[in-house]
Amino acid sequence: MILQDYRVLTRLPIPSLQCLDKRTLTPLAFNLARVSRLQQSSFGNQHLNANFTSATDTALRFRTYATTAVSRPKAHTGRTASAPRKKAPVAKATTSGTTSAAKKPAAKKSKTTSKTKPKPKTKGPGRAGTKAKSAKARKKPKAKAAPKKPKKVRTPEQKERLAIKALKAKLLDPPKQLATTAYQVLLAETSRAKPGSVPGLSKEASVRYHALNPTEREHYNHIANQNKATNESEYRKWIQAYSPVQIVASNSARQLLRRRTKGKRYPKLKDERLVTGHRSSYNIFFKERQLSGDFKGMKAPDAARLIGKEWREMGASQRKPYQQAAEEDMARYEQEVKAVYNRDVDHSVANAARAKAA
């Protein structure tokens, strides 16, 4: 570009170059005109190279502010502005197996893409230290163990009440029984008609019972017999609902309650399935002597004292039949206990009692 401008100025005559001034030319054109004048003069021919270099450097310094040069049409040559060259399209691969000869370089990522700024790291202990601190923070402080309460010492009365309560828990309540006598039937009828206190009702029922005629008495007796049959059938059904083992446990609890309580009745449950206890040789002898009739009209303690005296005076040969009968009864008892209760007989208690008696 600089050389083209220089060639144009060299064709101008010297008078025309002298008329040019800094006010009419750009700094670049002015320096080029100065170079042309020096070239045409005799003095300028000697220093052409040095001045041309100086003028060119000055022109380049003044051109540093300009934008990219664009080719302009030249009026004296008749050329038109050159159009920007187009890049040849890159041939695409025709098949999936073949690739293009010149691959396009991978497009660089623009620097203007938004990047998520990392969170500023806080100064402090490392990751291990923070993890340890967070673990300590998560751990809950251990609750202090409550002091153990001292065991309450129970009095003998309290222990007795607890034992009675445990025995009552083993009881089996049988179904309620209906009235089984004429008087009981009349009393129940009176209480349903006129509810009131028991003493007043029993007194009124007693007066009515003694005033009954034979027909009315027969009527109440018939109702009592029917109630008795109903009671037996209901009781039998209730007993069958439990196993013999449960009935035995209930009877044992009832026996202990009779000993520990006063004024309360705990009758023994009756069950035909229960095993009858075995008898000893003395029990067999006592029963035999009692049924003989020798002690008729005597009090039970007196009769028992005399029978015991006879047993002690008997010899070994006289006791032998009773001992054999006791052994047979023991064998029967063991078989029934095994069949009904599904367990063996414990002879430790009997052996201990026998050893004590000897």
What is the pLDDT, as a whole number, of residue 63?
47
What is the pLDDT, as a whole number, of residue 265?
85
Among 21-35, 82-96, 166-180, the least confident range: 82-96
Among 62-66, 172-176, 271-275, 289-293, the least confident range: 62-66
Average pLDDT over residues 75-96: 50
With left for phi above 0 and alpha for psi between -120 and 50, is residue 86 left, alpha or beta? beta
Residue 178 contacts residue 230 (beta carbons within 8 Å): yes
Residue 146: DSSP 8-state: P
The 3-state DSSP class for residue 251 equals: helix
Per-residue pLDDT tens over the stretch 335-358: 999 999 998 988 776 677 566 655
Residue 139: DSSP 8-state: S
What is the pLDDT, as a whole number, of residue 240?
93
Of 62, 28, 54, give the one whose Cα is nearest residue 44: 54
Buried b or exposed e, range 209-240, using 16+ CB within 10 angstroms: beeeeeeeeeebeebbeebeeebeeebeeebe
Residue 341: DSSP 8-state: T
From CA 298, how far away is CA 338, in angstroms rounded? 41
From CA 275, how far away is CA 333, in angstroms rounded? 7
Per-residue pLDDT tens over the stretch 275-322: 999 999 999 999 999 999 899 999 999 999 999 999 999 999 999 999
The residue assigned the tokens 């050893």 is: 355
Per-residue pLDDT tens over the stretch 112-153: 444 555 555 555 555 555 555 565 556 666 666 777 777 778
pLDDT at 246 over 70: yes
Of 183, 274, 198, 185, give the one whose Cα is nearest residue 231: 185
The 3-state DSSP class for residue 243 equals: coil
From CA 246, how far away is CA 269, in angstroms rounded? 11
Instruction: Give me the amino acid identity at 128.
Output: A
Question: How many alpha carbons lie under 13 Å from residue 275 in its C-beta half-sphere?
Answer: 21
Task: Read off the tokens for 163.
Answer: 């034992």
Q: How confident is the model at residue 97 (pLDDT cuts 50, 70, 90)?
A: very low
With left for phi above 0 and alpha for psi between -120 and 50, is residue 323 left, alpha or beta? alpha
The 3-state DSSP class for residue 208 equals: helix
Q: How confident is the model at residue 195 (pLDDT cuts 50, 70, 90)?
A: confident
Tell me the helices (H) and strands (E) count for the chain, helix number first. 15, 0
